[in-house]
């Protein structure tokens, strides 16, 4: 600041720079950008000196000071008075004085007055004795309406004379108070007249005159555009009077000038303006004076419009020959003719109208009254005949019922949207805005009244179904790709009408369209089927087509074929995560006339041996595409509980089968069962030494490729919550105690206030809801950690002393789960998917989290948590961290990365959990299905979208990952239509009983 505040100065400018001197400011410059910062820095530096002397006052000033003002308060008068006196002392030591103290406490005000911190009465202003005499000379009341009010100030003048005061002498306190009271009542005169007229219900027409043109501009303008002083007064005037009732009066005709300037008796006697008013006031309004504008004098109407460069600040109207008045040339005039001009324009452009609708806004009501006044006052034959002959009726909607005008408010919304897109925040002149509005009017009035097809081959039945709200935008987009359907619809409808035999075969396009439509909306299919008769196949025909998809236990050949087709037609290499999980089924044998369902079936050797035991679970394998937006179940197996060796065999066989179809699997996900960890060890992993974990195993068909294993992060989070809640105490560098979570819940329930978190009783007593991932995620959240920290550091509550380690534990687990559950590259912080840009940041955190988990111990005995019996959850997180580091190094951080970003939610078991939820829902009672029900639901999920996920399930479909299209296993000629979400396969024509190739498009489960 010292270097930038220097300047050159010379005593003799003619001497050049010989006598120049360098000066430097020793005070802070006002207006320099750095001055506010220096002020704040100086104040904070000064306050730090008094932290030991006045700790509470220093903290109060540090939090409540804004620039050079202090705004704050206390609960009682004693604390407020102490803070004020100490603040005065602190700032007095800095060479500044605090003043302008204000308070809402009378007791504190008296204390301040006693200590001379404030004046005794800030309203007592010294008034010179000559001021009332000046006011008397300015009052204009020739009729005497204000006599009683003026009498009070005249009596005040008598009191001043009795005291023999001179002009500049100060008034005594008693007279000064009376004068101030009288002055405060002067603004009420305008309100008094307004209220008298309103109370007596007088139908008076009041006109107001001024000889100051700027005042007219203020009153007729927009108050918000002016400075606050003018704005406040204009708002008061507009509230009591109408701006249209204000007129211009030349100074020579202003009667009030005589009262304010004075005149002799002879001048007053011969002045008719004082007694009768100006001559033009007796005439009609068309002869009243207009504002003078010498520049515009002598111009005719067209030249005036052409050369009008002066804004409406001074041009409210002009004197022109009424016979030559053309409304089209004067669209900016502000009198009543403007309303008539716009109505005449509207009728000329759009034709005559009989009824005009509007709401109850003051503008419309006033316009209606003005139109009626025009028809009564103006005697022009053309205008009068027009109003009478056309019989125009103006109707208003119900008072305060804006929804009655919905039919025209929708059009107003369309106009506003167009204007917003065209203008933005621009302010246009009147003529430009009129042009833009005319263009918007043309666009809105040229809209088609019926649906317009972008493609003549687009089936019109899609439009019919969409108008009934049976189809969403995604369905409309996919269905519009199906062509050549209209021709067959018409031919089949004609055959129905003419009672000709219907064609026995459905074309490939119609089969594809029917199955796709039924997939996206069974309601839409029912509507089209009932509307267009036999144009679409019956539901029984669709069922026969579905039966050709083999959904027997084992690897689903149709699914793997569709997967291979998708990979071959993909422009970029695709990478997958293999997810495995088990679902309980009811142990029940069922016979459908062909085979027995419900027995153990691993899909290798099909057998009808009735001696096999009943299966109690279905082992499902599902693929999720990492760099695309779909997933696919590739097989399931019925078992009575698979061992680790059996699972290892199935996984190896699955990986080999996928490798033959060029499917690149990079990860394997499983839950926290012990035999799953044993299976991973048999595949080639090593979890014995936690300091040197091996979390990747070689691909059974390609030794150069490694597959990382991920214990499911949501399951690990639930297990960490269970361990923390049951052991109640853990130990890192300090005690991590469950009691702080319980104390927070107890505090929030007792106060009926929650500190920005969702902690409830279900989070504390979780024994009946151990499978709820949501409860565990809400417990290990930053909001719960912040609430505990707030209770400890801000509220200073005894129940939260020593909670620092618990807060750190909650925050670390929360961040770790955010990383392992990241879903999008558009998120922020650690919820953002890992990419090359943030890989280093994530790796640093993972290194910190790994060291923290390794340091955890049991509170009793000090046994490391990874050596205890409850090690599965923390070991699972360590394995996830190690696998994360391996995938980032191999696929993200390399010179030529395989993936732009990796959303780690793709390795979560949420996908297969949603599949299980959909299967249970298909059974009707949301319970474990039988083997036959599971097979039916599995087939449906491959070819239909009727199965929806329940909102109360364990997992929520946070990402719309679709299921890939699955086709039948018959040989066919396929044509691929690749989109981001679907694959369409078209087969040659077949009979009604034959199976179609395309069974459905992607669905969400």
Please tell me the distance from the alpha carbon of residue 442 to that of residue 251, in angstroms, as a whole number: 49
Residue 554 lies in a domain: yes
User: What value does the mean pLDDT take over residues 647-667?
Assistant: 93
| pLDDT of 972 above 50 | no
User: What percent of the chain shows pLDDT beyond 90?
Assistant: 17
Residues 756 and 888 in one domain: yes
* Strongest mean pLDDT among 180-194, 526-540, 565-579, 696-710: 696-710
| pLDDT of 718 above 80 | yes
| Higher pLDDT pick, 70 / 766 | 70
Residues 865 and 932 in one domain: no
Lowest mean pLDDT among 413-427, 751-765, 981-995: 981-995
Question: Of 204, 227, 253, which residue sits at a domain end?
Answer: 204
Give the domain extent around 343: 336-420
Q: What is the pLDDT of residue 314?
A: 32
Lowest mean pLDDT among 205-209, 770-774, 807-811: 770-774
- Distances from the Cα of 90 to the Cαs of 39, 53, 86, in angstroms? 15, 10, 6
Residues 858 and 802 in one domain: yes
Q: Work out the pLDDT band at 260, boundaries 50, 70, 90.
A: low
Task: Quote the distance between the C-alpha of residue 691 and its chain's center.
Answer: 46
Residue 896's SS3 state is coil
Residues 834 and 942 in one domain: no
Tally of domains in the chain: 5
Q: Decide if 1002 contacts 965 (C-beta within 8 A).
A: yes
Q: Encode pLDDT of 404-418 as tens digits.
A: 778 788 888 889 999
Q: What is the pLDDT of residue 2?
A: 57
Q: Encode pLDDT of 347-395 as tens digits.
A: 676 677 677 677 665 544 445 555 555 444 444 556 556 656 666 666 7
- Show the tokens assigned to 393: 């009726």
Q: Encode pLDDT of 896-952 as tens digits.
A: 888 889 999 999 998 888 888 878 876 655 578 888 888 888 887 776 433 333 343
Residues 94 and 182 in one domain: no
Please tell me the distance from the alpha carbon of residue 43 to that of residue 62, in angstroms, as a whole number: 9
Question: Of 60, 89, 121, which residue sits at a domain end?
Answer: 121
| pLDDT of 207 above 90 | no
Residue 359 lies in a domain: yes
Residue 261 lies in a domain: no
Helix then strand count (H, E) for the chain reads 38, 27
Greatest extent of the chain over all pairs of C-alpha atoms, in Å:
137
| pLDDT of 135 above 80 | no
User: What value does the mean pLDDT take over residues 168-196?
Assistant: 72
Mark 781-797 as b/e (b = at least 16 C-beta within 10 Å).
Answer: bbbbbbbbbbbbeeeeb
Q: What is the pLDDT of residue 15?
A: 66
Q: Encode pLDDT of 589-632 as tens digits.
A: 888 778 888 889 887 655 456 678 889 999 999 999 998 888 88
Residue 652 lies in a domain: yes
- Show the tokens assigned to 760: 């409830």
User: What value does the mean pLDDT take over residues 481-509?
Assistant: 64
Q: Encode pLDDT of 829-886 as tens digits.
A: 899 999 999 999 999 999 999 999 999 988 777 888 888 888 888 999 999 999 999 9
Residues 845 and 791 in one domain: yes
Residue 882 lies in a domain: yes
Residues 60 and 155 in one domain: no
Q: Work out the pLDDT band at 710, boundaries 50, 70, 90.
A: very high
Please tell me the distance from the alpha carbon of residue 19 to that of residue 11, in angstroms, as a whole number: 7
Residues 767 and 886 in one domain: yes
| Higher pLDDT pick, 173 / 561 | 561
Residue 283 lies in a domain: no
Q: Residue 621: beta bridge partners?
A: 580, 635
Report if pTM > 0.75: no
Question: Could you tell me where the beta strands, DSSP code E, fall in 530-625?
Answer: 554-555, 575-584, 590-591, 596-597, 617-625
To 5 degrees, how large is the angle CA 908–CA 680–CA 818? 25
Q: Decide if 773 contacts 762 (C-beta within 8 A).
A: no
Residues 751 and 876 in one domain: yes
- Show the tokens assigned to 84: 């004020």
Residues 659 and 737 in one domain: no
Q: Encode pLDDT of 302-332 as tens digits.
A: 343 333 333 333 333 333 333 333 343 344 4
Question: Of 121, 156, 182, which residue sits at a domain end?
Answer: 121
Q: Say if strands 393-396 and 355-358 run parallel, antiparallel, or are unpaired.
A: parallel
Residues 826 and 891 in one domain: yes
Q: Residue 702: beta bridge partners?
A: 699
Q: What is the pLDDT of residue 142?
A: 63
Q: Work out the pLDDT band at 756, boundaries 50, 70, 90.
A: confident
Residue 489 lies in a domain: no
Residues 596 and 683 in one domain: yes
Average pLDDT, the chain: 75
Q: What is the pLDDT of residue 860?
A: 77
Residue 84 lies in a domain: yes
């Amino acid at each position: 600041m010292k270097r930038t505040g220097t300047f050159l100065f010379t005593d003799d400018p003619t001497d050049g720079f010989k006598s120049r001197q360098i000066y430097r400011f020793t005070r802070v410059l006002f207006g320099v950008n750095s001055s506010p910062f220096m002020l704040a820095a100086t104040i904070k530096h000064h306050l730090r000196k008094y932290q030991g002397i006045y700790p509470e006052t220093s903290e109060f000033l540090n939090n409540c000071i804004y620039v050079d003002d202090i705004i704050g308060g206390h609960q009682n008068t004693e604390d407020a008075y102490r803070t004020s006196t100490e603040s005065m002392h602190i700032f007095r030591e800095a060479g500044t004085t605090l003043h302008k103290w204000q308070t809402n406490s009378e007791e504190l005000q008296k204390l301040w007055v006693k200590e001379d911190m404030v004046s005794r009465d800030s309203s007592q202003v010294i008034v010179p004795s000559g001021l009332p005499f000046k006011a008397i000379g300015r009052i204009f009341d020739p009729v005497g309406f204000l006599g009683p009010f003026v009498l009070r100030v005249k009596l005040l003048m008598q009191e001043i004379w009795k005291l023999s005061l001179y002009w500049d002498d100060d008034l005594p306190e008693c007279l000064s108070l009376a004068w101030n009271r009288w002055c405060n009542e002067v603004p009420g005169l305008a309100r008094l007249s307004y209220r008298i007229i309103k109370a007596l219900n007088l139908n008076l027409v009041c006109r107001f005159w001024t000889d100051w043109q700027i005042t007219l501009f203020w009153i007729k303008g927009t108050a918000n555009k002016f400075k606050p002083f003018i704005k406040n007064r204009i708002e008061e005037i507009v509230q009591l009077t109408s701006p249209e009732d204000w007129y211009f009066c030349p100074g020579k005709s202003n009667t009030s000038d005589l009262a304010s300037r004075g005149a002799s008796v002879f001048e007053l006697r011969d002045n008719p303006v004082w007694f009768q008013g100006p001559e033009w006031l007796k005439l009609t309004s068309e002869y009243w004076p207009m504002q003078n504008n010498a520049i515009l004098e002598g111009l005719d109407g067209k030249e005036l419009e052409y050369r009008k460069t002066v804004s409406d600040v001074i041009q409210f109207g002009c004197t022109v020959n009424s016979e030559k008045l053309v409304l089209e040339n004067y669209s900016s005039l502000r009198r009543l003719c403007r309303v008539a001009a716009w109505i005449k324009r509207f009728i000329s452009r759009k034709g005559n109208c009989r009824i005009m609708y509007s709401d109850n806004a003051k503008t419309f009501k006033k316009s209606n009254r003005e139109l009626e006044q025009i028809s009564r006052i103006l005697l022009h034959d053309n205008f009068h005949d027009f109003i009478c002959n056309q019989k125009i009726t103006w109707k208003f909607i119900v008072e305060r019922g804006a929804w009655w005008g919905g039919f025209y408010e929708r059009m107003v919304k369309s106009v506003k949207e167009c204007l917003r897109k065209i203008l933005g925040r621009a302010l246009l002149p009147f003529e430009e805005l009129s042009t833009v509005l005319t263009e918007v009017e043309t666009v809105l009035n040229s809209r088609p009244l019926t649906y317009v097809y972008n493609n003549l081959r687009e089936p019109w039945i899609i439009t019919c179904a969409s108008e009934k709200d049976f189809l969403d935008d995604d369905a409309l987009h996919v269905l519009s790709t199906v062509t050549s359907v209209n021709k067959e619809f018409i031919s089949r409808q004609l055959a129905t009408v003419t009672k000709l035999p219907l064609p026995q075969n459905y074309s490939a396009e119609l089969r594809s369209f029917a199955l796709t439509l039924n997939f996206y909306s069974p309601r839409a299919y029912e509507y089209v089927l009932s509307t267009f008769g036999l144009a679409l196949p019956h539901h029984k025909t669709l069922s026969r087509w579905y039966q050709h998809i083999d959904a027997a236990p084992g690897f689903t050949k149709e699914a793997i074929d569709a997967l291979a087709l998708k990979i071959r037609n993909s422009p970029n290499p695709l990478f997958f995560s293999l997810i495995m999980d088990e679902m309980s089924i009811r142990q029940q044998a069922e016979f459908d006339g062909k085979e027995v369902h419900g027995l153990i079936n691993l899909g290798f050797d099909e057998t009808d041996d009735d001696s096999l035991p009943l299966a109690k679970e279905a082992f499902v394998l599902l693929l999720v595409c990492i760099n695309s937006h779909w997933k696919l179940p590739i097989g399931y197996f019925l078992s009575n509980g698979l061992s680790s060796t059996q699972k290892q065999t199935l996984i190896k066989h699955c990986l080999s089968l996928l490798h033959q179809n060029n499917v690149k699997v990079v990860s394997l996900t499983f839950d926290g069962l012990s035999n799953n960890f044993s299976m991973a060890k048999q595949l080639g992993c090593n979890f014995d030494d936690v300091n040197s974990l091996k979390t990747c195993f070689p691909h059974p068909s390609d030794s150069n490729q490694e597959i990382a294993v991920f214990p499911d992060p949501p399951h690990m989070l639930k297990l960490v919550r269970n361990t923390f809640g049951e052991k109640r105490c853990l130990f890192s560098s300090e005690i991590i105690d469950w009691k702080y979570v319980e104390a927070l819940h107890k505090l929030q329930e007792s106060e009926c206030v929650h500190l920005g978190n969702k902690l409830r009783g279900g989070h504390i007593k979780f024994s009946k809801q151990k499978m709820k991932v949501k409860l565990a995620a809400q417990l290990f959240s930053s909001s719960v950690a912040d609430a505990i920290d707030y209770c400890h550091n801000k509220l200073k509550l005894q129940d939260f002393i020593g909670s620092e380690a618990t807060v750190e534990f909650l925050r670390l687990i929360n961040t770790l789960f955010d990383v392992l559950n990241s879903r999008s590259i558009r998120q922020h912080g650690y919820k953002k998917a890992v990419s090359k840009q943030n890989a280093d940041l994530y790796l640093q955190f993972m290194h910190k989290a790994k060291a923290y988990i390794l340091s955890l111990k049991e509170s009793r005995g000090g046994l490391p948590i990874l050596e205890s019996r409850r090690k599965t959850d923390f070991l699972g997180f360590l394995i996830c961290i190690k696998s994360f580091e391996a995938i980032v190094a191999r696929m993200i951080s390399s010179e030529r990365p395989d993936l732009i970003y990796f959303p780690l939610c793709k390795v979560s078991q949420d996908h297969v959990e949603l599949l299980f939820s959909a299967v249970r829902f298909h059974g009707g009672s949301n319970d474990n299905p039988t083997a036959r029900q599971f097979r039916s639901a599995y087939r449906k999920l491959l070819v239909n979208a009727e199965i929806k996920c329940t909102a109360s399930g364990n997992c929520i479909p946070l990402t719309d990952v679709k299921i890939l299209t699955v086709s039948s296993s018959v040989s066919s000629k396929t044509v691929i239509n690749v989109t981001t979400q679907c694959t369409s396969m078209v087969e040659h024509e077949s009979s009604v009983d034959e199976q179609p190739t395309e069974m459905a498009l992607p669905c969400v489960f």
